Amino acid sequence: MTKHLTLLLFIGLAWGQSDLDELALKDNIIGYQNLSIKEKAVNDAKADAIKWLAYPPLALIGAGGLATATFFIGEDIFDMSDESILFPSIFGGSLGAVGTYYLFDKRDLEIIKTEDIQLYEKFYSEEFKKRKVKNIITSSGVVGVTALIGAWIILSSIDMSGYDACFDPRCD
């Protein structure tokens, strides 16, 4: 178990952020108001993009949960066969992933002078897209590595030496 913990700590260290950004929070209104439009947009985008780190695991849970629930409802309540409930389950899982995306896709913009809105939107959009994609990729990588380590631990703990598998119908 200690070697697994060491591996996880090493992965976290390797993926850790080395360049720390400065972030002017909206709570500090006096300091925030003194920033230029570009600085406001970049700081707002950084703050709003952080939540996207949680998107991949929550989308996975939402998609899996809705797909499983749809499958069991169709199978147990409506007495549908496994083949006929497969497509609605896939559709339900897709709705879980899309619904989770729309929970995250909300912005809270500060009130800005009308003439500065387009400039703010331009800078905000550029920085937000860059940060959002980076955070989703990072979080997806962590989820993938965690799943691989979990699967490896589970598969390495199962003793399959007493089983003989043959998928040919002529096997005895």
Cα distance between residue 95 and residue 84, in whole Å: 18
Report the chain's mean pLDDT, rounded to a whole number. Answer: 79
- Torsion, CA 137, CA 142, CA 148, CA 151, rounded to 10: -130
The predicted structure's pLDDT at residue 19: 53
The predicted structure's pLDDT at residue 31: 73
Instruction: Tell me which range, 15-19, 22-26, 56-60, 167-171, is most confidently predicted by mean pLDDT.
Output: 56-60
pLDDT, tens digit (0-9, with 9 covering 90-100), for 64-98: 988 999 999 998 888 988 889 889 999 988 888 88
Q: How confident is the model at residue 51 (pLDDT cuts 50, 70, 90)?
A: confident
Share of the chain above pLDDT 90, in %: 18
* Neighbour-count burial of 10, counting CB atoms closer than 10 A to its CB (0-12 exposed, 13-18 middle, 19+ buried): exposed
Q: Is the pLDDT of residue 1 over 60?
A: no
* Alpha-helical segments (H) within 50-116: 55-72, 82-104
Q: How confident is the model at residue 127 (pLDDT cuts 50, 70, 90)?
A: very high
Q: Which long-range contacts (CB under 8 A, 24 or more apart) does 64-73 make?
A: 64/93, 64/96, 65/96, 66/92, 66/93, 66/95, 66/96, 67/92, 67/93, 67/96
Q: How confident is the model at residue 34 (pLDDT cuts 50, 70, 90)?
A: confident
Cα distance between residue 2 and residue 158, in whole Å: 20
Q: Is the pLDDT of residue 13 over 90?
A: no
- The domain spans of the chain are 21-140
With a CB cutoff of 8 Å and minimum separation 6, the contacts of 102 are none
Question: Quick one: tokens of 61?
Answer: 């849970």
